[in-house]
Amino acid sequence: MEKVSEAVGAVVRETITVTDNVTGKSLELPVFHATEGPRVADIRRLYRDMGILTYDPGFTSTASCESEITFIDGDEGVLLHRGYAIEDLAEKSDFLEVCYLLLYGSLPNAAEKADFEQTITMHTMVHEQMRTFFSGFRRDAHPMAIMVGVVGAMSAFYHDSTDIHDPHQRMVASHRLIAKMPTIAAMAYKYSIGQPFLYPRNDYSYTENFLHMTFEVPCADKPISPVLSRAMDRIFILHADHEQNASTSTVRLAGSSGANPFACIASGIASLWGPAHGGANEAVLNMLNEIGSKDRIPEYLQKAKDQNDPFRLMGFGHRVYKSYDPRAAVLKKSADEVLDELGVRHEPLLELAMELERIAQEDEYFQDRKLFPNVDFYSGIILRATGFPVSMFTVLFALARTVGWIAQWMEMIEDPVQKIGRPRQLYTGKRRRPYVPLDQR
């Protein structure tokens, strides 16, 4: 048996038979062969034909969609975007090229690259009224709170790109989001420190422009360091997409109802904010500061291992990676180099992090559970050295992940199989019972 399913592009080569031991009924389910990774059983007929739902909290065994964008092999520590290894992209590409790759499916040629850069550059300014919008926030608001609000509000400013059924409008919305995210992120930062907003500049690259709007001031020239710019660009590449993680799934779920792309990306930002997801980079630095010195590492490892203690080693563990996160490997390699070039000769937190990693890796608890450092473990150290406050770390993650969210959102809208996302449940509440009047309760 070999046919291309009518429903999805994956090849069906075999079936799996499910038998209900109560009714004796059997059902043959098609099994899709992915290009890479595990085979996927198509359970769509299970409820219709057998009246049985599947139970999978956290979606640990569920493929929620078909996707051609990103592949992760969690056992081997492999991450591919459109087939290209993250290590190659981090070393040889640049962030806007990776954006093009994720959005359009292939690397651009020179003319396509120049054209895409020009398009993005032309969208970097935000509506002037957005500047006043910021003043509604408290100065001490967390920049992620500002991001959720302002990005959601983009749908109130860019009406001409909210029709999700128009491919041109979808693409314009994608370009706007990628282009304006650094401007909004830099504004959130400037607002929090009481400095004036800076307009974007067309003569800078994407990442230089972000650093310009973040760190420059109108009253003095402060040249952008090429080392810093390259390091930042690499961090953006490493965070650009990551398959069907919590925030991406949130964007897809929000988008499945037909919500506009700006609202969908705002929902992704909200999901990313949590410490189990994008908020972990902030949590790692807070944790390292709390640990403070190498001699306290065993005490904190003990806390992490104690099932009655809610403390977890932040920046360790991953739902999919059961070996070293390849993004963490790239960052670890570049951390020393970046710090050196930034003139940070001795970074105690980096030394503490490396020692923590070393001791944890030798510990049976972490070995047994295959807990390795994830991307957040080293990113915070580099970001802090570049001058960002800890509260901005997750904002930078959101900035970089926007392209992944939008590429996945576009893929979903264009997928003929797409339906509104609507999981079912295993109900364990009360059965139907009569209403009890207030005076009889």
Q: How far is 52 from 297, CA to CA, in rounded Å? A: 48
Count the Cβ atoms, other than its own, within 10 Å of residue 36: 11
Q: CB under 6 A: which stretch of 76-84, 314-322, 344-352, 431-439 binds ligand ACO? A: 314-322
Closest CA to 243 of 326, 162, 172, 330: 326
Spatial contact of 252 and 408, defined as CB atoms under 8 Å apart: yes
CB of 425 to ligand ACO, least distance (A): 19
Q: Is 309 in the site for ligand ACO (CB under 6 A)?
A: no
Which residue's CB is nearer to ligand ACO, number 113 or number 277? 277
- Can you state the angle between helices 95-104 and 393-414, rounded to 10 degrees? 20
DSSP states along 267-332: HHHHHHTSTTTTTHHHHHHHHHHHH-SGGGHHHHHHHHH-TTS----TTB--SS-SS--HHHHHHH
Element (H, E) at 265: helix 261-272
Lookup: tokens for 221: 């020239």
Answer yes or no whether residue 230 interacts with ligand ACO by CB under 6 A.
no
Shortest distance, position 277 Cβ to ligand ACO, whole Å: 4
Closest residue by Cα to residue 275 from 283, 267, 285, 287: 283
Which stretch in 23-31, 76-84, 102-110, 374-382 sits in contact with ligand ACO by CB under 6 A? 374-382
One of 113, 131, 230, 312 touching ligand ACO (CB under 6 A): 312
Nearest to ligand ACO of 117, 325 (CB atom)? 325
Query: Does 280 sit near ligand ACO (CB under 6 A)?
Result: yes
How far apart are the C-alpha atoms of 309 and 302, rounded to whole Å?
Answer: 9
Q: Which of 4, 85, 276, 417: binder of ligand ACO (CB under 6 A)? A: 276
The residue annotated as part of the active site, out of 318, 340, 346, 439, is 318
346 is catalytic: no
The token pair at 82 is 């459109």
**Least spacing, CB of residue 15 vs ligand ACO, in Å:** 30
Window contacting ligand ACO (CB under 6 A); options: 105-113, 121-129, 180-188, 270-278: 270-278
Q: Which residue is nearest to ligand ACO (CB)?
A: 317
Question: What is the token pair recorded at 148?
Answer: 């959720």
**Distance between CA 376 and CA 389 in Å, rounded?**
15
Is residue 301 involved in binding ligand ACO (CB under 6 A)?
Answer: no
**Residue 277 or 294 having the CB closest to ligand ACO:** 277
Stretch that binds ligand ACO, among 197-205, 223-231, 373-381, 421-429 (CB under 6 A): 373-381
Q: Which of 42, 241, 325, 376 is catalytic?
A: 376
Query: Do 70 and 241 contact (CB within 8 A), yes or no?
Result: yes
**Interaction of residue 304 with ligand ACO, rule CB under 6 A:** yes
Instruction: Give CA separation, 331 vs 41, 84, 94, 261, 318, in Å.
Output: 36, 18, 15, 31, 16
* Cβ nearer to ligand ACO, comparing 2 with 364: 364
- Sign of the torsion angle spanned by Cα atoms 183, 184, 187, 192: negative
State which residue, 28 or 306, has the beta carbon closest to ligand ACO: 306
Determine, following the binding rule CB under 6 A, whether residue 319 of this chain makes contact with ligand ACO: yes
**Identity of the residue, 71 or 199, whose beta carbon is nearer to ligand ACO in the bound complex:** 71
Question: For this structure, is 318 an active site residue?
Answer: yes
Name which of residues 330 to 369 contact ligand ACO (CB under 6 A). 369
Catalog residues that contact ligand ACO under the rule CB under 6 A.
Answer: 276-278, 280, 304, 312-319, 369, 371, 374-376
Which residues are the active-site residues?
318, 376
